[in-house]
Chains A and B, each alone.
Chain A
Amino acid sequence: MLYILDQRLRAQNIPGDKARRALRAFSIMSVRALPLLFLNLGGEMLYILDQRLRAQNIPGDKARRDEWTEVDRKRVLHDIILTMFNKSFIEELLKPQELYSKKALRTIYDRLAHASIMKLNQASMDKLYDLMTMALKYQVLLCPRPKDVLLVTFNHLDTIKGLIQDNPALLHLVDETLRQLIEVYGGLSAGEFQLIRQTLLTFFQDLHIRVSLFLKDKVQNSNGRFVLPVSGPVPWGIEVPGLIRMFDNKGEEVRRVEFPHGGNYVTAPKEGSFEVYGDRVLKLGTNMYSVNRPVETHTSGTSKNLASQTQQSIAPNPLAKEELNFLAKLMGGMEIKKTSGPEPGFRLNLFTTDEEEEQAALTRPEELSHEVVNIQATQDQQRNQELARIMGEFEVMDQPRWSASKGDDLLAMMDEL
């Protein structure tokens, strides 16, 4: 992988030491924020897809050829989780590196969502991505302590484990990821976690998409801003505000005064667990979508503060090449199944009707359209061989064969028995 990266940099005629400096100079605030961002957004994506697939669930015997059944739903989730938690992919992700740009991240999720038989239109994919980002923004913003972002990640992973209870191989993969996360983040200081949280908030700056679920639950105002509560338990390690203690030169307490602090806080009951198994205490990061509550997003009226954001993204990014190189490196480890046959798979609609989806695609504000970057990880012969060799090392056992139509697949499964 580094060989490929080095080759591409040489092709651009960047002198060696400058190239190394360019790679190091990537650092934006925290270099440990990407795994948390990726895993949490992936978790939210799985919750939303699970909810949407359950909502369209039809009993197996009554299903027509192109309708979703329980078996299909489980397969889609299994395929996505298998791709997301691929061992080498996670290893690559956990290396210290800067946060990817929004475009790059959006491309990864596009690939992930299409890692199975499911297909999403642009409008549905946009809505999915909007929901994912706003949900995570809410969770990071409301995190009591910066270290609780890790608890939010653990909540996501715990709930993902709940979705794949019947597959021990996948469970093992997710457990392995949990262990690696604990290894990497267990030793970080409070200051480093604060930097991680600030980095994540910078990533979500100026996003004010209104989500109907949040509006109904009164956690988001009608202007798109989240409600920050001033009551409830204080974070673990923080004392309830309201006390002034004065000491003398010898360290003896001289006076105690209380002052009105304005909120309505109580002490924290207990600390969440940072082990592989345990009670996380925090509710942020758990699955808040249920089958009966369809989630809508409103993108109108959110473009007020996007002027600065779009200026950033429109200006040609000289870093684009480097970013794409890293991206290709990362996705070289992703097992992307190629579609075969004429039908490219089942389409999932995140809106209630197809017409709504088309309408949403037309009325989406320009600034919020995410252009998907097309990555060709195998571009020329020489690199192709090298990449193919390395990708061969990443082969995951148990590659389930699958085909376009459900009937053929069942037949194939029966043949294998």
Chain B
Amino acid sequence: MLTAVGGSCSWTLPKPRGFYGSLRPGGRRRLTVAPATTLCAGWLALSTVTPATAPRAAGSGGSPRPSACVSASSLWWRRIRRDLAILESGKPTRGYWMFRRQRSIPLRGSAAALCNNLSVLHLPVCNLTHFGVVHGPSAQLLSVAPEGVPLAQRQLHAKEGAGVSSPLITQVHWCALPFRVLLVLTSHRGIQMYESDGSVMVYWHALDSRDASPVQAMFARGIASCGHFICVGMWSGRVLVFDIPAKGPNIVLSEELAGHPTSVTDIASEPAQEQDCMADVVTADDSGLLCVWRSGPEFKLLTRIPGFGVPCTSVQLWKGIAAAGYGNGQVRLYETSTGALHVQINAHARAICALDLAPEVGKLLSAAEDTFVHIWKLSKRTESGCTEVEHCHGECVPDTQVCGARFCDPSGSSFAVTGYDLAEILRFSSE
């Protein structure tokens, strides 16, 4: 009698208690609720509050629950009305009802167990969103319409280069430059740069095998754009800086930054606070060390923020605050000009695999291998110079070791998540 329409939601037999599963954020949801249209008249009266109804239990890509015919008892209906009254009043923990699970985007190949394994390019002009996920020796690019319908997809492979084995890709990332957008792919052989749709390779940089040591694998990892430069990190700790022209393939390696003793993990940048500089860049490595640079024809090292023996897997930059996620599940916020620690969050119970920022609103997204994704609100107090953090929302992706998470738009109203061995991109939205 109650049918699911749209998406992959379905009714299941209601349980007498815990109809909506756990009401705590991130708690296990045991029931899925059909959105919008249903056939039951009694339910229609209550369907006006469907945007606030229980979010679907984030499934792990397995088979959908079987829909079952339900004969409702009056007791059951009273329970529904009571629960919905609670929802309307906003009693549950603040922020719990903010995000709803949307339709997943299927992938050709599952996501690899890497950090920062999702890149999103939002194109407001044509109302499309591009997603990029690394599978292993190939990366998949998807072009998706607003409702989550995939319109086009493309697979890119790592260039063979010297040697005959098929190398693995470490990261795929879109770099937004002043006059163009480039797609950068890093692998165990080198760095490939494509036009934003992945159609044409405009540049190839092979890793220098002279530097290789037999006890360490060679790879490039960590990609960020700053001004008209693209910075890419290396296994050796060096950061390559490429000068990108407004158009054409005349990309030049402009500088090699030496500041890290171990492999670079992630790079982030933001437009600089002062007038005369272009952008600030922060680089992170396997030892947890963070280096803050000022970009320009020659990059200048501003601050070194020492690590504490734990790799820093992901880093973001916002208003002079470096947000770093570590292998011990902590998110730390540092002031980049002084290197002082402002906030320390015991955010996750496993290593953090991805951080993302919605710079317009100061929202930070953190995802870790403990299957949780958290959203934080950052605010900077100008008078004291302190940073404040507030927890907004927590989401559990059951039985999925998350490996990538990104906001899908600059206002932070929707985000996407990838998981190891999962052949789909999970989407959540608060609209």
List chain A positions with a Cβ less than 8 A from chain B. Answer: 18, 21-22, 24-32, 96, 98, 141, 144, 146, 189-192, 194-195, 197-198, 201-202, 205-206, 208, 221-223, 225-228, 230, 234-235, 237-249, 251, 254-255, 257, 259-263, 265, 304-305, 307-308, 312, 318-319, 322
Contacts and interface: CB of A to CB of B under 8 A. Distances in A.
Tell me if B's interface is mostly helix, strand, loop or mixed. loop
B400 A245 contact: no
A65 to B, nearest CB: 47
Nearest to B329: A238
B330 to A, nearest CB: 7
Contacts of A262: 24-27, 372, 394, 396
The 8 A-B residue pairs with the shortest CB-CB distance in the complex, in nearest-first order: A262-B26, A191-B286, A25-B163, A223-B62, A259-B391, A27-B217, A201-B113, A191-B311
Given A22-B163, A190-B311, A240-B349, A251 B421 contact: no
B343 A245 contact: yes
**Range, interface on chain B:** 35 or more
Interface in B308-355: 309-311, 313, 327-330, 335, 338, 340-351
Nearest to B96: A260
Contacts of B313: 194
B2 interface: no
Given A27-B217, A205-B136, A249 B335 contact: yes
A35 to B, nearest CB: 13
Contacts of A259: 391, 394
Contact of B263 (A22, A96, A191, A223): A191
B399 interface: yes
B401 to A, nearest CB: 7
A241 B329 contact: yes
Contacts of A319: 164-166
A320 B342 CA distance: 53
A371 to B, nearest CB: 19
Interface string B367-410: 00011101000000000111111110010101111000000000
A262 B215 CA distance: 40
A98 B93 CA distance: 49
Interface in B88-114: 93, 108-110, 112-114
B259 interface: no
B347 A241 contact: yes
With a 10 A CB-CB cut-off, give which of A18, A192, A241, A257 has the most chain B CB atoms: A241
Contacts of B263: 191
B188 interface: yes
A346 B125 CA distance: 71
A25 B165 contact: yes
B25 A205 contact: no
A192 B217 CA distance: 10
Contact of B345 (A141, A243, A249, A307): A243
B423 interface: yes
Contact of A27 (B24, B166, B218, B385): B218
10 contacts: A22-B163, A24-B209, A28-B188, A30-B217, A194-B311, A230-B372, A239-B346, A261-B374, A263-B26, A263-B349
A22 B265 CA distance: 26
A9 to B, nearest CB: 12
B3 interface: no
A344 B343 CA distance: 68
A265 B349 contact: yes
A7 to B, nearest CB: 19
A248 B399 contact: no
Contacts of B342: 246-247
Given A194-B313, A235-B349, A308-B110, 4 more contacts: A27-B218, A190-B286, A191-B327, A223-B63
A14 to B, nearest CB: 9
A96 B108 CA distance: 33
A238 B349 contact: yes
Nearest to A207: B421
Contacts of B384: 248-249
B349 A22 contact: no
Contacts of A205: 110, 112-113, 136, 420-421
Contacts of B262: 189, 191
B8 to A, nearest CB: 14
B387 A241 contact: no
B401 A141 contact: yes
Contacts of B162: 18, 21-22, 25
Contacts of A202: 112-113, 136, 168
A96 B213 CA distance: 10
Contact of A31 (B137, B214, B385): B214
B399 A225 contact: yes
Contacts of A238: 328-329, 349-350
A167 to B, nearest CB: 34
B372 A227 contact: no
A260 B329 contact: no
A114 B93 CA distance: 60
